[in-house]
Amino acid sequence: TEQQKQCAGCGAFLQATNAEQAGYIPEKALEREPAICQRCFKIKNYNEAQSVAIDHDEFLRMLSRIGDEDALVIHIVDLFDFEGSLISSLQRFVGNNPVLLVVNKIDLLPKGMNWNRIRNWVQHQAKEQGIRIVDVLLVSAKRDLGFDRLVEVVAEWRGDRDVYVVGATNVGKSTLINRLIRDYSDMDRELTTSRYPGTTLDLVNIPLEDGRSIIDTPGIVYTHRMTELVDRKDLGAILPDKTLKPTVFQLNEGQTLFFGALARFDFAEGERQSFTCYMSNAIKIHRTKLERADDLYRNHAGDMLAPPAKDRLEQLPEWTKHQLRVPRGGEMDVFISGLGWIACNGKSGALLNVHAPKGVKVMLRSTLI
């Protein structure tokens, strides 16, 4: 019977044999009602998650069954980390099933945005990645924005099919599912939410009134996102939770910006121009001269340049340098996955060197805002 009992938090099957695996619960806690696995227990009581990773291959294997079914797929991405959280291989395994792209965390963008423009931008980026989508919905799971529309559109596309919800970690999938549960069923079982990676494990079935289900899948871990590389203690600092307050810098050629000790932005060549940084307020941005940058990092990484704190610096991979050329006349963002982006007005073009931990996705993209 131990095999059949599920965690009231994440839905994983409970087991008392392997502490490293999903659903682990100490023998004596198994009798408790509701029974909750050790991971969820820790998250709830200490706000501390054990990171449980599901890698790309495992993820694809798990999801390959969707292509064989008649289902609606909701792909949830994080607007703040769009290119980092988009599952570009999605198209391969969803078959002919419709994909709804739900873009979460729109509360981070300033009020009074042109939402049509954002929607077009999203549509365009998804198309470039080879993902065919039937609709784009802009929502905030946390602030409860855009959900009435989402519920309507899901009803339209779902018909009498199951709904699969897929996404990377930390995009707000648990928050969104909890919101859907409230709308869709009388059941008051809440899934665990936390800001730590890998919170949702296994396929969790949420029964709907018509006998169909919403199926929550594990969050895929992409190591090209800064959020997956930093220590959990620094995650709160890099995930923004309020409307982004951009910081504008007028830079001359030969100036450098440090984003804590997480990344460095060198303006190597170009006329004096402005750069607008969109990141969490908890990241200290420090300006210096390019010729002083190495010294500054050597002497102040982990104190003046933070996060991360000194004792956690070692955990980050060494930096690699990305050379980016902003063409003259093209407004572009320098995107650093999980950390944010820097908008370049591009009037006169620029040559930039961006240093970021090895593996982190760094790229130029057409400007979001």
Q: Residues interacting with ligand GDP, by CB under 6 A?
A: 104-105, 107-108, 140-143, 167, 169-175, 193-195, 199-200, 219, 239, 241
Where b means 16+ CB within 10 Å and e means fewer, 153-169 reads bbeebbeebbbbbbbbb
Measured CA distances, 73 to 40, 216, 217, 278, 330 (Å): 26, 11, 11, 30, 35
Dist CA 338 CA 260 (whole Å): 14
User: Pick from 170, 168, 172: which is nearest to 221 by CA?
Assistant: 168
Structure tokens at 9: 């938090």
Task: Supply the minimum distance, in Å, between the C-beta of residue 325 and ligand GDP.
Answer: 32
Task: Supply the minimum distance, in Å, between the C-beta of residue 12 and ligand GDP.
Answer: 14
Of the pair 75, 158, the CB lying nearest ligand GDP is at 75
Of the pair 48, 253, the CB lying nearest ligand GDP is at 48
Of the pair 6, 104, the CB lying nearest ligand GDP is at 104
Of the pair 218, 357, the CB lying nearest ligand GDP is at 218
DSSP H helical ranges for 205-323:
226-229, 232-238, 290-300, 310-313
Compute and round to an integer the Cα radius of gyration of the chain. Answer: 22
Of the pair 37, 354, the CB lying nearest ligand GDP is at 37
User: Pick from 297, 301, 304, 320: which is nearest to 312 by CA?
Assistant: 301
Strand partners, 351: 269, 325
Structure tokens at 107: 């509360």
Dist CA 157 CA 161 (whole Å): 9
Task: Supply the minimum distance, in Å, between the C-beta of residue 339 and ligand GDP.
Answer: 15
Task: Supply the minimum distance, in Å, between the C-beta of residue 289 and ligand GDP.
Answer: 35
Task: Supply the minimum distance, in Å, between the C-beta of residue 239 and ligand GDP.
Answer: 5
Of the pair 23, 167, the CB lying nearest ligand GDP is at 167
Task: Supply the minimum distance, in Å, between the C-beta of residue 333 and ligand GDP.
Answer: 19
